[in-house]
Structure 1
Amino acid sequence: MKNILEDERIVMTLDAGGTNFVFSALQAGVEIIEPITLPSHSEDLEYCLKTIISGFKQVETVLEHRIPDAISFAFPGPADYKQGVIGDLINLPSFRGGVALGPMLEEIFGIPTLINNDGDLFAYGEAVAGFLPFLNRHLEGAGLSRRFKNLIGVTLGTGFGGGIVVNNQICLGDNSAAGEIWLTRNFLKPETIAEESVSIRAIQRVYAEKSGKPTNHTPLEIYQIASGIIEGDKQAAVAAFEEMAVAIAESLANAVALLDAPIVIGGGIAGASKFIIPKIIEHLSGSIHDLSGKAIPRSISSVYDVDDKDELKAFITNSQHEVIIPFSTKKVIYNKEKRIAIGTSKLGTSAAVCLGAYALALDYLDKTNHYEVAINKEMN
């Protein structure tokens, strides 16, 4: 895929919230108009859809002679994202029974329309312009040949979101249901989903339990208490983030075992990474046991916090060795130590989602054009 930050094609975007819709347009990965904000009217489907149409028409008007090539944006699920059909939504209550939002926009505007969820697009944005380029630049700078092409992205906020990139491509799954990490089993409360321990409400609940007092503190205030910035039960505040980190870690341990990929963390609660990431690494560096009691490493790979300068330096230290091919004088490279990086978003969560949507549209346009060229060649 081309460098999206050098691509001149224009993609119209939408930031869809339950209260407001914010419309914009990107070119070369940069916003090229002043965003247009309209109330979502989420309680009335017809009004809501007409608002979406109006917003994109206003963007076209502002673009003047510049012609958009596609529409691409994040929208809440459940949905059949491949078909552009939105299912029953909590924060947009008028969407019920399947609304063909993507096909509607394609028919009206005459350009491809890509819709996905914010967890997937966050991971993709970090893969094409954030966390993976960050890792690979450091590897290149250290003179190493290896490059990372896979990524697990998680967002920590109102809920526990996720997205997966495999071989530099967003993984949508066969049913538009990939990356649903919130639904993994909760390591701390096995009868519940992981999100019950990985969310804003979880931070508040655990702080209240550990401090012995009801709380109306926000996660930011609990973070400030943990950091000694404001008064409160510091021990309870630290415990709230560390307990959440253990639940995150076990979900990630299962994901890493299957995908063998670096991990990037975004969302508002990622701001407390100094309490979260060390605990995740501690858990991933621990053991699990077979029935005989034999200890097995919880993660096959060593995990490095690449937000820490010393850890980053250790991560990019050369672990490659040359080994002789048996019955030959030739040698091959052997990566003796398996390594996984973990760190926070390099773009910011909102920017990563936006760039992920932009990159998804460009990738679709490139593939469609390649397919059309191949068909034309066959016909001629």
Structure 2
Amino acid sequence: MYNREKGAVLTLDAGGTNFVFSTIKDNKEVVDPVDFPAYPDDLHKCLNSIVTGFKEVIKHLKSDPIAISFAFPGPADYENGIIGDLPNFPAFRGGVALGPYLKEKFGLPVFINNDGNLFAYGEALAGALPEINKQLEAAGNPKRYRNLLAVTLGTGFGGGVVIDNRLLTGDNGCGGDVWISANKYDHHLLAEEGVSIRAVKREYRELSGDESDISPKEIFEIAEGTKTGNREAAIKSFERLGEIAGFTISESLNIVDGLVVIGGGIANAHKYILPAMIKEMNGVRKTVKGDIFPRLQMKAYNLEDENEKALFLNNESEIVTIPESNKTATYHSVKKIGVWTSMLGTSKAIAIGAYNFALNQLS
């Protein structure tokens, strides 16, 4: 088994405009992050920027790093470190062997995955999952959660799944990809068409009649009443996103059955998104005969709402007697699921996920 005390892992937050480099050890950032331009249109400059960034953070380490691990947008063959055609990175057209290139440059193992997977892994190992179990213990509730579905709401609709501390990558590196799921209002559309920056902007534009190019941050400010605009339309824009995301999350939870963590820039509007999401998750389905069933076998709770969180943490387990015995067993007759926003912050969770992903691969 790999000794986690031996070294740090170099990480990278790969945005379309800037690359932010850091180093993680023991689930903590051990250097101040540095950033360099991404140069998405020029492969030579882009690769040079990545190499320069990693060299810069290495200067501040007390010992040699043990690996490089980071998130990079897909499509990609992550297992072999090949980045495919990216709309935001024209320089990678035709596929670029980024992992093998960096391995040659630094003589280190290189691990790449998508941000949704690494976000989920970070929250499962060092964020929301251990925290909610800690709070359940403090509340005297014997229930513990081991599985997690994490989604990111931003430029796109990212996702990742962790099952009992193991990241679900899939045989083709597509595990946890929620963005391509069916859209609630048109099953021929991607879920991402209703759960993304462009979706919020489009919805606000259609509801308000305002054709100006306005950002989700500004739409949130309008919803909060701190910026002039159509407040009702702003609120409904986020509610619509929450409803469509809730539809896809529910479909996923019927297989994953774990806690849900929400990250990404749009998650800052969770006060409007989560109630609509939870309402969708707690909806119903019917049989041909008209029999009604819950949308999920578990009841969903908004853990950002203190009253709902208290109900979620409340111990509703029962003690039953084992037949022909004087012994007892715990019976969790009430099934619950919680939806929470990121405990760590999206970027930090991704970095911690990348760190642990490298350690797991090296073990």
Gaps of 5+ in 2: none
Shift of 1:325: 2.2
Deviations 1:201-224 (A, max 9, x none): 111111121123323222122112
Alignment counterpart, residue 193 of structure 1, candidates 190, 202, 207: 190
Other structure's SS at 2:337 match: strand
Paired position in structure 2 for 1:252:
249
TM value normalised by structure 2: 0.94
The answer to whether residue 316 in structure 2 is matched with residue 314 in structure 1 is: no
Gaps of 5+ in 1: 368-380
List, as ranges, runs of 4+ consecutive aligned residues in structure 1 with deviation greater than 4 Å: 1-4
The answer to whether residue 342 in structure 2 is matched with residue 345 in structure 1 is: yes
Deviations 1:131-157 (A, max 9, x none): 101101101112333221111111111
State the alpha-carbon separation in 2 of the partners of residues 287 and 229 from structure 1.
37
Quick one: structure 1 residues 283 and 34, their matched pair in 2 at CA, closer, same or farther if it must change by over 3 Å?
A: closer
The answer to whether residue 356 in structure 2 is matched with residue 354 in structure 1 is: no
State the alpha-carbon separation in 2 of the partners of residues 3 and 222 from structure 1.
47
Task: Please tell me the residue identity of whatever aligns with 2:107.
Answer: G
Contact 1:152–1:264 at 8 Å: present in 2 too?
yes
The answer to whether residue 28 in structure 2 is matched with residue 30 in structure 1 is: yes
Shift of 1:337: 0.3
Shift of 1:24: 2.1
Paired position in structure 1 for 2:164:
167
Task: Please tell me the residue identity of whatever aligns with 1:91.
Answer: N
Deviations 1:34-72 (A, max 9, x none): 333222232232332233233323333332x51111111
The answer to whether residue 345 in structure 2 is matched with residue 332 in structure 1 is: no
Paired position in structure 1 for 2:53:
55
Shift of 1:85: 1.4
Deviations 1:144-201 (A, max 9, x none): 3322111111111111111111111111111001121111111022221111111111
Contact 2:303–2:340 at 8 Å: present in 1 too?
yes
Other structure's SS at 2:183 match: coil
Task: Please tell me the residue identity of whatever aligns with 1:297.
Answer: P
Task: Please tell me the residue identity of whatever aligns with 1:118.
Answer: D
Other structure's SS at 1:182 match: coil
Larger RCO: Structure 1 or Structure 2 (Cα < 8 Å, ≥ 6 residues apart)? Answer: 2
Other structure's SS at 1:21 match: strand
Shift of 1:130: 1.0
Other structure's SS at 1:174 match: coil
Deviations 1:9-51 (A, max 9, x none): 2111112222322222222223222333222232232332233
Paired position in structure 2 for 1:150:
147
State the alpha-carbon separation in 2 of the partners of residues 21 and 236 from structure 1.
35
Contact 1:132–1:151 at 8 Å: present in 2 too?
yes
State the alpha-carbon separation in 2 of the partners of residues 237 and 247 from structure 1.
16
Other structure's SS at 2:319 match: strand
Paired position in structure 1 for 2:9:
11
Other structure's SS at 1:94 match: helix
Give the superposed CA RMSD: 1.9
Task: Please tell me the residue identity of whatever aligns with 1:181.
Answer: V
Quick one: structure 1 residues 242 and 2, their matched pair in 2 at CA, closer, same or farther if it must change by over 3 Å?
A: farther
TM value normalised by structure 1: 0.90
Paired position in structure 1 for 2:69:
72
Comparing 24-33 with 148-157, greater Cα deviation is found at 24-33
Deviations 1:259-285 (A, max 9, x none): 101111011111111111111111111
